[in-house]
Structures are given as structure tokens and as C-alpha cells.
Chains A and B, each alone.
Chain A
Amino acid sequence: NAGVTQTPKFQVLKTGQSMTLQCAQDMNHNSMYWYRQDPGMGLRLIYYSASEGTTDKGEVPNGYNVSRLNKREFSLRLESAAPSQTSVYFCASSETGNYGYTFGSGTRLTVV
């Protein structure tokens, strides 16, 4: 099925551990995004990539790094996980000019 695929769907980490969240889209979109969603809040932008080869910080980038591996893939890395990073993470993609985002189904991350 066409769309945005995120892996893993669930993850539990211990404080200080590292991990990479994977995201791939097959719609040939130029732009990709990582958001986090916390209870009672909207989505907050962590990082985005306007096009292959570029990445920029969003609203809450501290503690995260990203890699736009190619046009299809955009990964999010937590180098040293903290309990404050417990959240649901969503990857999204869009065409340039943003006619609407396509979201993945999310990764539920718990840091203990």
C-alpha cells in the first residue's frame, strides 16, 4: 500500500540508551517531517527535510538527530534517551507546496 511506513511501532528504552526510528515513503514526496505527540497537545515538529540532502530544526529538536538517507527515507535518532522523550512519534511527508501531509501510523516510545 502506498503511504508512509514507520518502524518500529512500539519501543521501550532505558534512560541513556540510543535508538533510531525509521521512516520511508513511496509517494515520491520531496518533503518529510518528524513530529511528536504528547497527551493533550498537538503535534510538535522535531525536524524536517524540505528536500533530499537538507534537514532543518523544528520546534523541539533538542535530544534528536535526523538523516535524510535518500528521497524515500528519513530517520530520527535519539542518542541518549530521557524519560521526557516518552511520546508518540509520527513521520509525515508532503509534496513541495504542501497540499496536505500523509502520516505514518506512529511509533509509541517509552523511556524508563
Chain B
Amino acid sequence: SQQGEEDPQALSIQEGENATMNCSYKTSINNLQWYRQNSGRGLVHLILIRSNEREKHSGRLRVTLDTSKKSSSLLITASRAADTASYFCATDETGGFKTIFGAGTRLFVKA
């Protein structure tokens, strides 16, 4: 079963707008990661946030984590057409070894 579930499933915005994607999960985690996948390519690691962190930034990316609500959000500011991709959250369960991926959010940024 999937640990992380992204919301929305698909998102279409104009270039320059901000894009927000959410991820919910079910069990206690060690960390949560966000990945990007361009069409026909492998996944690329974007950012990792640990369970004791609440917010993390990397360039135009901002990730928040609320362990009490078992949820995370990924914000992409000032989006560009090149940000068009699928975005996946992935969680490492506490005491587990495997990383579990959600089904992803498909982001389309219109130029």
C-alpha cells in the first residue's frame, strides 16, 4: 500500500505563479523526501526533510513538514515552464528500511 499520497493529482498554472503540492502519509517517519520526474526520465532527488524539522528551503523550493498531521507540502515559487514534471513524495518509516513513494502530482506550467 502507498504510504504517501499527493494532492492534487494534477495542477496547471501560469509561468511565474507559485505551485503548491501536498503529501499525506500514514505512519511515523524518519524523513520525507520530494523527487521530480520529467517525462520519460528517472526521478531526481529535490529535498529531504527530517522528522524533527518543520521547514526547509532549497532555491525556489520550500518544504514544510507537520508530523502531528502527517503531512508535508512542497512550494515552488515563481514557476517556470521547465518545472513541468511529476513530483513525488517519499517517506522512510520509523524502524523500517524501505522508502515508500506516493503516486505523484503532475505539474504543468504554461509559458
- Tell me the A residues contacting B by CB distance below 8 Å: 4, 33, 35, 40-45, 48, 50, 56, 58-59, 90, 92, 98-106
Q: At the interface, yes or no: B45 with Cβ under 8 Å from chain A?
A: yes
Q: Which of B13-21, B64-72, B92-100 contacts A (4 or more CB under 8 A)?
A: B92-100
The 15 listed contacts between A and B (C-beta, < 8 Å) are A33-B98, A35-B101, A42-B88, A42-B101, A42-B102, A44-B101, A45-B99, A59-B98, A90-B42, A98-B31, A98-B92, A100-B33, A101-B43, A103-B43, A106-B40
Is A102 touching B104 in the complex (CB atoms < 8 A)?
Answer: no
A23 CB → nearest B CB, Å: 11
Q: At the interface, yes or no: B2 with Cβ under 8 Å from chain A?
A: yes
Given the interface contacts A40-B103, A45-B98, does A100 sit within 8 Å of B41 by beta carbon?
no
A33 CB → nearest B CB, Å: 8
* Interfacial chain A residues near B48, Cβ < 8 Å: 99-100
Chain A residue at minimum C-beta to C-beta distance from B43: A103
Chain B residue at minimum C-beta to C-beta distance from A42: B101
* Interfacial chain B residues near A99, Cβ < 8 Å: 48
Is B31 touching A90 in the complex (CB atoms < 8 A)?
Answer: no
Is B41 touching A106 in the complex (CB atoms < 8 A)?
Answer: yes
Is A48 touching B98 in the complex (CB atoms < 8 A)?
Answer: yes
Is B103 touching A42 in the complex (CB atoms < 8 A)?
Answer: yes
Interface centre among B4, B92, B98, B104 (most CB of A within 10 A): B98
User: Bound complex: CA of A98 vs CA of B41, how far in Å?
Assistant: 21
* Interfacial chain A residues near B88, Cβ < 8 Å: 42-43
